[in-house]
A and B are shown apart, each in its own frame.
Chain A
Amino acid sequence: MGAKGSLVLEDGTVFEGVSFGCPRSSTGEVVFNTGMVGYPESLTDPSYRGQILAFTYPMIGNYGVPKDRKSNGISTVFESGSIHVSGVVVSDYSKNCSHWNAAMSFGEWLNGNRIPALEGIDTRALTKRLRESGTMNGSIIIGKGGMERSRNPIEEVSTEKPVVYGRGKKRIALIDCGVKNSILHSLISRDVSVIRVPWDYDIFSLDFDGLLVSNGPGDPKRAHAAIENTKKAIELDIPTFGICLGNQIMAIAAGGDTYKMKYGHRSQNQPCLLEGTKRCYITSQNHGYAASLDGAGNEWKTLFTNLNDGTNEGIVHRTGRFFSVQFHPEANPGPTDTSFMFDRFLGMLK
């Protein structure tokens, strides 16, 4: 059995558990995810940068961690090159894993990446606490080790220099605030070229047909450069699509606002209603901030609304040329029902 450890929330609540990852302490915003599969995808999703992630599904690690495979030089099993969470919290860690594609156990993977993890935690009690008090900071404390503080998380996860993928004629500039590999795959598989640039890159030095503003961690208001570039793209009438953080950036660029949600949406079962219809899609989500069209001009409309809590799930410009969604049409983890959003975006490129 691993060393004893605990999760301490900023309100003083303590959950005792047992370490099954790297036996060291760490700090971060504590969030929960209700997805029942997809822990390798979630942990490598840059949007989780700096967060301590609790899984509400109780048995985690069942199918181990897959061997990496690549397509176009991009991993098809992980969402980025590393684990971004600063800690993992589960109820029951499955030390025995079984899967034809497993290269190692979940614990081994965490250990190899120096990520601390606790099992034996009442993750339901933790979730209720976060639901009632709102997301808060916390620390995994194992042994005596010191704690690390996170910097601007977008800076940490964005690419350092531009990278080009694919050979398609149409060129997409992708502002990387922490893009998931599945977004890249979703574009490349539709036969376009992708120029992935740092979050604060001067995109107008490039030649491109459409702009995609990616997902990413943290407060959208800290992504000034990305917001300014999005505004400019809209002014220049360049088709623009935002995903997750990209939706929030789009909202700010449109004159709207964003706010921190009480405990966010992190799950694979969020129902999103397409405005003006009775069609509702099941979506995968991971965000702690939400967009609002308050203050935006009346040429902006709501595109999707969350059926559970009524929050904004996407916005669209009157022309239809600039739009964004709060959910993840690229899935991984989660349902693939909204992949048509990529077709809609690429359909506008001339």
Chain B
Amino acid sequence: MKPKKVLLLGSGALKIGQAGEFDYSGSQAVKALKEEGIEVVVINPNIASVQTSEGFAYRTYFLPITPFFVEKVIEKERPDGVLLGFGGQTALNCGLALDESGVFAKYGVRVLGTGTDAIRKTEDRDLFKRELLSISVKTPKSRPVSTTKDAMEAAERIGYPVMIRAGFALGGEGSGVCKTKRELESRAKAALDKSDKILVEEYLGGWKEIEYEVVRDAEDNCITVCNMENFDPLGIHTGESIVVAPSQTLSNSEYHMLRELSIKVIRHFGIVGECNIQFALDPKGEDYRVIEVNARLSRSSALASKATGYPLAFVAAKIAIGKALIEIENSITKTTKACFEPALDYVVVKVPRWDFNKFPKVSRRLGTEMKSVGEVMAIGGTFEEALQKAVRMLDIGAQGIIHNIDLDIEKELKSPTDRRLFAISLAVSRGFSTRRISNATGIDPWFIDRMRNIVEFSGKIRANRESLLQAKRLGFSDSQIAFFAGKKEGSIRKLREKFGIFPVVRRIDTLAAEFPASTNYLYATYHGKESDVAFNGRGKVVVLGSGTYKIGSSVEFDWCAVEAANELRNLGKKTIMINCNPETVSTDYDVCDSLYFEELTLERVLDIYGMENPDGIVVSVGGQIPNELSSSLSKNGAKLLGTSAESVDCCEDRNKFSKLCDSLGISQPRWSSLSSRKEALDFASNAGYPVIARPSYVLSGEAMRVIYDATELSEYLRENTKPSDERRVVISKFIENAREVEFDGVSGKGNVWKHVMTEHIENAGVHSGDATMVTPPQRLPKSVRDDILGKSKRLSKALNISGPFNIQFIVKGNDVSVIECNLRASRSMPFVSKVIGSNLVSLSVRSMLGMGNGISREKRIVVGVKAPQFSFSRLKGADPMLGVEMSSTGEVGCIGNDFNDALLKAMISSGIPVPRKGVLLSISGDERREEFLESARRLSGLGVDIFATEKTRAFLGRNGISAKEVSAELPASLDLAICIPKSSRKEELMRKYGIRRALADRNIPIITNLELAEALTESLSKIREKDAEIRPIEEY
């Protein structure tokens, strides 16, 4: 029976192992159910997600995905069904807990799709293996254990090396290979800290890793939508692997043996909906093992959807409400049905994106745990073409697999890191044989040989027609070709034009051209002689999406891109989206009129621009990658919509921007760009320490640091950069104990149409992406707010802004200075838009099209708090200390009638729970301890155990607060830690790194900022979890 009202559990903030793919799956589910006339209630504190956009679902709750809050929503909404499979492991675990505690039964809520019994059988490793054994399907030899001693015994029986796996864990957290007893002992111990039960398993390193995406309906129709092969062998987490679809090295019998097994397993478990199954396949025979089954939408299913054009999440949602596969339309062809298996006539390559440069202490070594923070997907006619495209999409400065960086080839091949592709190409060019590389890496020779084709051709590139065409077919960019042929990038484009070498545009049609497609899901390739599309029509606007997610650029820019496309459509424009990130909603082909799953590079955007001949291009909604293309696109004749490229350039260029501020009488913290060590030291001592230093040439602002004295600066300059004319270092005055304020605005022809101010809770010194923030500001006097608005208006006028912009201000007392200004949508735009109930992106689009200020009234007056989500437990070795470098991987935003309510909900949503057992305090320096005293009193009033490090404990004791001592071993019953260093001097930070890291390894949330700790303890003392307001955004 079709339900009337369905609750959908989202996945919360983006973190490593659980990212934007669940915004895709959740939003598809909402669309699929809405189409059936079902009311969908969404719970998700991820305020930047598309699924929580106003008017999208029937009701939207920005609340934590915890059993407590979900039950509250069930009590209020009384849905008759619930979907657990669209919000990742978070939703699944929460749903299982609610099922076990009888909440679903109590309120008569039916779990739609795959039942909880089936989910449990796939989640509990032990049950899982027994089930598969009962149908004679092989799994790795293994033993479940719950003590370290049993783990050691099991390993003896199975034989080293063995693999440790923790059940119910996101993205393989706590898993690892152990070659020796000692390794096993420490790993088992760590894993058992997080999980009651772990598995010791036979190690299948070097086997191929193959995945199938399987769909089954209640009629027992069962199809495999896609298979995928990992480029990297088993032993490297699939989220860390380069993945290729379809499989490349499997014969028909292997492909169909695994397909048949997939269907057998999925039927046995009784999955209703979508699931993913992973296999290990012996590279020297047809032996296999089933590694795992994910009875829910997953990262792989998002990838498979984008790779094939088959909307897995959409179909899974339809199946969940009882539809059969034969009753669901193939939304690409519109003439055939969803009951078929896509045939691809192209190859898809996914490459993960890592941000190791942000975490200097983290090992770059890839293994069984996930560390990547994003991914890209490239489509091509050959593996070579797709792989080279993918490398460029990563936005790491590499133009393809040939990227000369300093590395130890032998070591890289044996112990792969994020640089292994470059190591392989280097090895090829140094004469390593395919066999040698394959033996060292475990990567199939087929892939190595394909990479060899690229490397070997690079030396033969010439500026003639045949050579250019061949180079383009191998995926070389114009700039790479220019490099190898000794020419300039622009001249290669001219040559191509002369020779008539252009990419063709093809449709992803799910059926390899067997049937015509009615959907414009497109990619470009040089392996063709004609395009599938005619490129006619007028009134087209191109929107550039965000590209890969990485630290600092994530789902918020996807929301902006989707909202921009929606508004353009509303205004009658034909929209063309360009993006290359498979975890996004903007790459759903129904979001726009044409979707190019393509590179966000000057070359490719110009290619598309040239073919489509649009009215203009929007570069200001996809974050920094499109923003940085502004000038070059404009110079090459592309028409930017909204603010001019000159203005963008003025804000990106520090010198130009400073001149502008000076001319407008707007102050900035003192800064200078310096080309020698002496200049740097002189400037810093003149300006006065502390200062912030950063190299001017490093991508994505890495290696930025606060520096407190000349010794530290000398050391910094030695370690990070040797300043010269080409490699200048930028030093600016760091203002201590100041507040930061974000100004998000939309202007039309220079006039500010709309603005929202957001105040950081932490003092300046915490990166805006890591700061907890509140809108409207709670502590800013009117005079300061007026000053900020006045300065923003002057900047807007001077830059003649038409569209979105964000200015960061620093406020000390009554002094307001500008830190930076970005003429694009900011990270906080979805947050502020949803809090005030007025969509700033829609408004921006109207401005960009030169229309009047049509919509603008704020709907509501509430308090919104945005909080960061960290993934430190994944990043072994990283210091979980906040600083000027961004380190959070996601964010949440919650709404309340007052600050304390909103803050508490936001904190719980970001994984900082209301403490019930114990809180650890480690506050350094007398001054800090004094400042923290009031907070400590509030905590002790909560009735939880207080643990404290030696000096903190003594201080608390003197003030009448009793605390237990923390020895070398962390107490078992901890649910929160507050560790505040005396300052962010390097030596200060080193002192307590050990304890912070130990906490992160134990997955205990840590607060390292005094202002945030104070705000949190105040909220905790004023409001209890059970009193938190349970209201959907629609009711505020």
Contact = CB atoms under 8 A, between A and B. Distances in A.
A binds B: yes
A308 B515 contact: yes
B252 A332 contact: yes
Interface string A1-40: 0000000000000010000000000000000101111101
B251 A37 contact: yes
A63 B506 CA distance: 26
A37 B249 CA distance: 9
The winner among A37, A97, A124 for most chain B CB atoms within 10 A is: A124
B189 to A, nearest CB: 39
B444 interface: yes
Given A59-B383, A97-B446, A122-B529, A269 B255 contact: no
A72 interface: no
A335 B256 contact: yes
B514 A331 contact: no
A133 interface: no
A204 interface: no
Contacts of B382: 58-59, 92
Given A36-B343, A56-B343, A308-B340, A91 B527 contact: yes
B861 interface: no
Interface stretch (A98-106, A219-227, A244-252, A286-294): A98-106
Nearest to B346: A58
A269 B339 contact: no
A56 to B, nearest CB: 4
A41 B484 CA distance: 42
A159 interface: no
Contacts of B530: 122, 125
A350 interface: no
A123 B512 CA distance: 10
A34 B445 CA distance: 26
Contacts of A278: 219, 221, 324, 326-327
A166 interface: no
A57 B512 contact: yes
B284 interface: yes
A127 B247 CA distance: 22
A56 B513 contact: yes
A62 B381 contact: no
Interface in B702-749: none
A313 B756 CA distance: 63
Given A41-B252, A98-B446, A282-B223, A307 B345 contact: no
B339 A307 contact: yes
B343 A267 contact: yes
Nearest to B438: A98
Interface string B491-511: 000000000000010100001
Given A125-B530, A278-B219, A307-B340, A57 B345 contact: yes
B341 interface: yes
B339 A98 contact: no
A224 to B, nearest CB: 32
A96 interface: yes
Nearest to B220: A279
A56 B512 contact: yes
A35 B335 CA distance: 21
Mostly, the A contact residues are: loop
B263 interface: yes
B511 A34 contact: yes
A269 B446 contact: no
B283 interface: yes
Interface string A75-90: 0010000000000000
A124 B506 contact: yes
A91 B513 CA distance: 14
A57 to B, nearest CB: 6
B260 interface: yes
Interface residues of A, number: 54
Contacts of A336: 256, 259-260
A282 B340 contact: yes
Interface string A189-227: 000000000000000000000000000000000000000
Given A98-B249, A335-B256, A127 B512 contact: yes
Interface in B259-281: 259-260, 263
B344 interface: yes
Contacts of A155: none
A71 B532 CA distance: 46
A40 B446 CA distance: 18
A336 to B, nearest CB: 5
Interface in A281-320: 282, 307-309
B285 interface: yes
B433 interface: no
A157 B928 CA distance: 90
A101 to B, nearest CB: 7
B924 interface: no
B446 A91 contact: no
Instruction: Find the residue from A122, A127, A271 having the highest chain B CB count within 10 A.
Output: A271
B325 interface: yes
B449 A96 contact: yes
A131 interface: yes
Interface centre among A59, A100, A131, A334 (most CB of B within 10 A): A59
Given A269-B341, A278-B326, A128 B346 contact: no
Given A98-B445, A122-B528, A35 B345 contact: no
Contact of A99 (B249, B324, B341, B506): B249
Interface string B317-353: 0000000111100000001110111111111000000
A197 B766 CA distance: 83
A41 B255 CA distance: 13
A15 B259 CA distance: 35
Nearest to B444: A98
Interface string A53-74: 0001111001100100000000
A118 interface: no
B249 A123 contact: no
A94 interface: yes
A66 B260 CA distance: 21
Contacts of A131: 513-516
A195 B506 CA distance: 49
Contacts of A334: 252, 256
A91 B252 contact: no
A175 to B, nearest CB: 26
A37 B252 contact: yes
A273 interface: yes
Nearest to A333: B252
B667 interface: no
A273 B253 CA distance: 25
A37 B257 CA distance: 12
A58 B345 contact: yes
Contacts of B516: 131
A108 interface: no
A62 B246 contact: no
A41 to B, nearest CB: 6
A308 B347 contact: no
Given A34-B345, A128-B513, A279-B220, A62 B339 contact: no
B250 interface: yes
A156 interface: no
Nearest to B527: A91
A268 B343 contact: yes
Q: Which 3 A-B pairs have the closest CB atoms?
A: A38-B252, A96-B449, A98-B446
20 contacts: A34-B514, A40-B252, A58-B527, A59-B383, A63-B249, A91-B381, A92-B382, A96-B446, A99-B249, A100-B285, A122-B504, A123-B345, A124-B532, A131-B515, A268-B341, A308-B336, A308-B337, A332-B252, A333-B252, A335-B259
Interface of A: 15, 32, 34-38, 40-41, 56-59, 62-63, 66, 77, 91-92, 94, 96-101, 122-125, 127-128, 131, 267-271, 273, 277-280, 282, 307-309, 331-337
Given A62-B249, A96-B434, A337-B263, 14 more contacts: A34-B343, A34-B512, A38-B255, A57-B246, A57-B343, A57-B344, A59-B347, A92-B381, A96-B450, A97-B446, A100-B285, A271-B339, A332-B252, A333-B252
